[in-house]
Amino acid sequence: MNTSTQGKNLIKQAEGCRLTAYKCAAGVWTIGYGHTQGVRAGQSITQQQAEEMLAADLAAYERAVGKVSQKLTQEQFDACVSLCYNIGTGAFVSSTAAALIAADPTPRPELERAWKSWNKAGGKTLDGLVKRRAKEWQLYSKASSTLSATIFGIAAAAVAVAGSLILIS
């Protein structure tokens, strides 16, 4: 599975794009859309290079998410890639969130807690990470919410039809 446009846009929005190297909140040299590998002080890139770095970086994160679970919806996959992109493949695959997803990818409170616990950089809770985790979780649980609403709607229609049949009898 590959990250959808919606997933890429989530990452781009959360990461922002900086064409000159900077140190992120964790003190790591970063450039483009959160690219860290081989970045050095004073480095500059073009927008096109930032897009190419993002595309290349996504492949590693997509593989890591794929190793955790093959049973994800597109929304769940995109949200997982965003989380993995932010915390790194090692942290993602060894996380409680990944273990819970591997066991059962259904959105549930314990998975949400594990997911949203990744809100710190340098030991400090960051508002930007709290917001990012909330957006990722909203996307992750989107398919489940839609499915629940559909099932509820079908059940309500069946009850209405059954009630009509009783009234007709």
- Triad 80, 82, 54: Cα angle to 5°: 130
HSE at residue 57, side-chain half, CA atoms within 13 A, is: 26
The residue from 17, 24, 52, 112 that is catalytic is: 24
> CA-CA distance, 71 to 77, in Å (whole number)?
9
Judge contact between 65 and 77, C-beta under 8 A: yes
DSSP string, 95-150: SHHHHHHHH--S--HHHHHHHHT--EETTEE-HHHHHHHHHHHHHHHHHHHHHHHH
Active site includes 24?
Answer: yes
The residues facing 124 across adjacent strands are 121
* Backbone φ and ψ of 94, nearest 5°: -95, 5
Which residue numbers are catalytic?
15, 24
